[in-house]
Amino acid sequence: MSETSVVIIASDSEQRAVLQVLVDGTSVARVVHSSATFPLEAADPTLQRIQSTNADVILVDIPAANPTLALRSIELLQAELPDIAVFAVGTMSQPQIIVNAMRSGAREFIERPSTTTDLLEAFIRLSASPRKVQREEVRGKVFTVVNAKGGSGATTVAVNLALALQSAHGDTALVDIAPLGHSALHMNLKPLFSVADAIRNLHRLDHSLLESFMTRHEGGLQVLAGPNTPVLVEPSTSEFARLFDMLVSHFRYVVVDASTRMDATTRLVSNLSATVLLVAHADVASLWSAARIQQYLGDAGGREKVRLLLNRFRKIPGFTEADAETAAGMKLLWKIPNQYFAVSTAIDRGVPLMQQNHTEIARAFIGLAGRLTENDVDVKRTTWSLFKTV
Ligand SMILES: Nc1ncnc2c1ncn2[C@@H]1O[C@H](COP(=O)(O)OP(=O)(O)OP(=O)(O)O)[C@@H](O)[C@H]1O
Ligand SMILES: [Mg+2]
């Protein structure tokens, strides 16, 4: 691998010095310029100076207390110098900053305090992924399914939605991040690997390794299974961010079963989603919980993409859909009928409803998949990418 030339932008002088030592310590990269100011407009002399260095990478240090200027600068660098990869350096304790950095165009998010190994791995990943190829990659769309209350039906919805998307469009993945992964059980799959394996191998994860951790369902749906015992040490949100970057670069649609998991990871994945399907029943306690969860997930913005999905729906005299929307404080996206016998038999047998064609409930999932993809003329164009490629 040829030597990578690096520009450092950090307002803090100590951090600038630390980064310089770490970069030089990798032995595969060398600092060619460092700056204390964040360029904020195209005419900024700092920008011209950076351009003249012909650098491969710009490391932008995002201060925890005031990230705004650094994030604006990443956006400008991405727009003005699209051939240079931007790596953001920041704290992992603020998932929103990670997401914003990636959306602004950062290719990598490196934790502070950083190590030489972190940087070395990022440089290797960069050299291993020719940018021209990445530019043409598919960037898929994520749909996350969460419960308003335990047992509302998130797994049933995630599994059948994923199968409906797979049968209509192909190229679909189901990722189980629930506290205990039930989705493989719903499909009678016996996964050998799980999300945890993919995350443990992030440093060398490419498309084929990712697929080898997934279990294929007969119709082609690829399932990245959840844990089969409760997990004590959870991966960090940034590791999930990287895993999802890989998933959206490989699959057209990624359905996530979060079920009752309510933590920074579900929040991050919700942030990355085109739509979050909040599964509730049409009763007061369930709708009350839905409103609370929407608030939690949408705290950092994006509340409007959290949509209500009424499961086990049946008409109740005197209670309208508008009443449900008012109680939950969000728009109704879809309804799935109440069919206890059909649903519980499907789960017990491991033969999902979508495999039992022509039933009313299978039609409801086909309709839901259609609704979520109705504007996707071209998935590449209509979706964002987590790690914008340069
Ligand atoms: N549309 C439906 N009609 C009737 N029963 C349903 C429907 N959807 C789900 N159920 C029932 O609800 C139960 C829970 O379903 P599921 O496992 O999908 O829920 P979950 O919300 O993922 O649960 P958990 O909180 O454990 O993750 C199932 O046993 C199933 O029989
Ligand atoms: Mg579940």
Q: What is the pLDDT of residue 138?
A: 61
Domains and CATH numbers, the chain: 4-135 (3.40.50.2300), 141-374 (3.40.50.300)
CA of 174 to the centre of ligand 2 (A): 13
Q: What is the pLDDT of residue 236?
A: 77
Question: How does pLDDT run across 217-240, given as a tens digit for each residue?
Answer: 999 999 999 998 887 777 777 788
Please state, in angstroms and rounded to a whole number, the distance separating the CA atoms of residues 387 and 381: 15
Contact 113, 75 (CB under 8 A): no
Q: What is the pLDDT of residue 377?
A: 64
Q: Where are the alpha helices (DSSP H) in 170-221?
A: 183-186, 195-200, 207-212
C-alpha distance from residue 177 to each of 158, 214, 226 (Å) = 11, 14, 6
Please state, in angstroms and rounded to a whole number, the distance separating the CA atoms of residues 285 and 295: 16
**Residue 150 alpha carbon, nearest atom of ligand 1:** 25
Residues with a CB atom less than 6 Å from ligand 1 = 147, 150-156, 178, 182, 259-260, 311-312, 336, 338-340, 343-344, 347
> Parallel, antiparallel, or unpaired: how do β-strands 253-259 and 141-147 relate?
parallel
Mean pLDDT across the chain, nearest whole number? Answer: 89
Question: How does pLDDT run across 34-47, given as a tens digit for each residue?
Answer: 999 999 999 999 99
With bands split at pLDDT 50, 70 and 90, how would you rate the model's confidence at 378?
A: low
> Parallel, antiparallel, or unpaired: how do β-strands 108-111 and 215-216 relate?
unpaired
Ligand nearest to the CA of 149: 1
Residue count of the chain, please give it: 390
Least confidently predicted of 3-17, 94-108, 190-204, 338-352 = 94-108
**Residue 152 alpha carbon, nearest atom of ligand 1:** 21
Please state, in angstroms and rounded to a whole number, the distance separating the CA atoms of residues 4 and 2: 6
Q: Whose CA is nearest to atom 27 of ligand 1?
A: 259
CA of 235 to the centre of ligand 1 (A): 27
Ligand 1 pocket test, candidate residues 156, 260, 266, most atoms within 8 A of CB? 156
Q: Does residue 8 register a pLDDT over 90?
A: yes
Whether the pTM exceeds 0.75: the reply is no
Q: What is the pLDDT of residue 139?
A: 77
